[in-house]
Amino acid sequence: MLTKEELPDCPVATTVQLIGNKWKLLILRNLLARPWRFNEMLRSIPGISQKVLTDNLRALENDGIIIRTVFPEVPPRVEYSLSELGDSMRPIIQSMEKWGLAYQRMVRES
């Protein structure tokens, strides 16, 4: 989680700092639908490497946006899901999706 000293003055900059790269947004897009396991998420996001996915999942977990659940099984099963804080970003991601669809439609019609 960000410290008080790390918080930008601008609230938009705060949001961008937390979820502002394309990988985090695609991870959140997936997690809005349901919990995901690591390998299925890796396969669902074209172009992301295992290391980059791991780093972004850790960052989102450290910021309190996602929850990592380890099930006591052999072999261990790990699932990632949105925390309550992460789920509160649902309207932001849905607005981005709506805008993106409108933009795609405009480009296709021109």
Structural domain boundaries enclosing 56: 4-109
Question: Structural domain tally of the chain?
Answer: 1
Q: How is 30-97 classified by DSSP, letter by letter?
A: HHHHS-EEHHHHHHHSTT--HHHHHHHHHHHHHTTSEEEEEES-SS-EEEEEE-HHHHTTHHHHHHHH
CATH code for position 24:
1.10.10.10
In this predicted structure, what is the pLDDT of residue 23?
96
Is pLDDT above 80 for 84?
A: yes
What is the per-residue pLDDT across 8-57, written as a single tens digit (0 to 9) for each?
A: 889 888 888 888 899 999 999 999 999 999 999 999 999 999 999 999 99
Q: Which two tokens stand for residue 64?
A: 């309190």
Comparing 5-9, 93-97, 103-107, the range with the smallest average pLDDT is 5-9
